[in-house]
Structure 1
């Protein structure tokens, strides 16, 4: 299972990047408006040293792109220590998966639906996610519909076009939850063959503690399972967030590492 997840995570960046090998890593060079990262080559089974991290640092400096890494801790346990020794900040997050038989759909007092590539919906969904991640955690916060509308209006045209392109190509599928105040939660899944990852699930901070994230996640899982996917994965920000996903049927299989 964890090998399958690692293989998927190595393939999914290719929808917006090109890969080149740098030492034991694949460095994904972005072809869109956001940066990507380097990952250990799956199955390489090598011990990562700080010098390997420095190779990627030098190549990123040459290309003028940010230095960052993502990996599955259990398939490359040496990378965290090597990255820390090279001066990077290292974090680990719970890594969870869901299979069809374990799915327990959640509902909330909101209308959840898969979104089209309509410009206003794209702007709103991205704005909701941005506000959610700018106030991390599960507690009720300040940002609400007014801040969402402001952030949506200020979003760059390049970002909107990139998100629309991904939706139209089917490499990302976004869901939104709606109340009388408009879109209040959103999230995306990124299918590659029969595996997908749910990313960017977020609720407007002022609307938290209403089950909206679980309901959006359920809508995404539903869509994925109805369209040829039999394994859904995600990484959670914290144990508290992981508990939300466990309520839908996800279970932990390891840890997602990140360093920058």
Structure 2
């Protein structure tokens, strides 16, 4: 299972990047408006050293792109210590999976639906996610519909176009939760073959603790399972956030590492 997850995570950046081999890593050079990262080549079994990190650092400097890494800790346990030795900041997040038999649909007091590529819908969804991750965690916060609308109006046209393109190509499918206040939660899944990853699930901070994140996640899982996917994965910010996904049927299989 964890090998399959690692293989998926090595394929999914290719929808927005080109791959380049740098030492024991694949560096994904972005072809869109947001940066990507380097990952250890799946199945290589190599022990990563700080000198390997420096190879990627030098190449990123040449390309004038940010230096960052993502990996599955269990398949490359040496990367975290090597990144720390090279002066990077390392974090680990719970890595969870869901298979069809484990799915437990969750509903909330909101309408959940798959989102179109309409410009205003894309702006609203991106704004909800931005505000959610701007106030991380699960506690009720301040940002609400007024802040969402302001953020949506100020969004770069380039970002909107890039997000619309991903929807049109089928490499990103988003869902939203709606109340009388409009869109209040959102998330996306990114299918590759028969697996997909759920990313960017967020609820407007003022609307938290209502089960909206779990309901959006449930809608995304349902869409994935209805469209020839049999494995859904995600990484959670914290154990508390992971508990939200466990309500839907996800279970932890390891840790996702990130360094920058």
TM-score by length of 2: 1.00
Any idea what SS the aligned residue of 1:74 has?
Answer: coil
Distance 2:129 2:193 in 1: 25
**Offset of residue 236 of structure 1:** 0.1
**Offset of residue 125 of structure 1:** 0.3
**Offset of residue 44 of structure 1:** 0.6
CA-to-partner distance for each residue in 1:150-187, whole Å, 9 max, x for gaps? Answer: 00000000000000000000000000000000000000
CA-to-partner distance for each residue in 1:111-168, whole Å, 9 max, x for gaps? Answer: 0000010000000000000000000000000000000000000000000000000000
What is residue 109 of structure 1 aligned with on the other side?
109
What is residue 70 of structure 1 aligned with on the other side?
70
Residue 17 (structure 2) pairs with residue 17 (structure 1) = yes
Distance 2:175 2:36 in 1: 23
**Offset of residue 71 of structure 1:** 0.1
Distance 1:68 1:46 in 2: 19
**Offset of residue 21 of structure 1:** 0.2
What is residue 157 of structure 2 aligned with on the other side?
157
What is residue 206 of structure 1 aligned with on the other side?
206
Q: How does 1:97-246 map to 2 (within 5 A)?
A: 97-246=97-246
Distance 1:248 1:17 in 2: 31
Distance 2:87 2:121 in 1: 40
Distance 1:92 1:178 in 2: 32
Distance 2:245 2:194 in 1: 20
What is residue 60 of structure 1 aligned with on the other side?
60
Aligned length, in residue pairs: 260
TM-score by length of 1: 1.00
Any idea what SS the aligned residue of 2:191 has?
Answer: strand
CA-to-partner distance for each residue in 1:46-65, whole Å, 9 max, x for gaps? Answer: 00000000000000000000
Distance 1:80 1:142 in 2: 35
Residue 259 (structure 2) pairs with residue 259 (structure 1) = yes
Distance 1:71 1:154 in 2: 33
What is residue 33 of structure 1 aligned with on the other side?
33
Which ranges of 4 or more aligned residues in structure 1 deviate by more than 6 Å? none
CA RMSD of aligned residues (A): 0.3
**Offset of residue 193 of structure 1:** 0.5
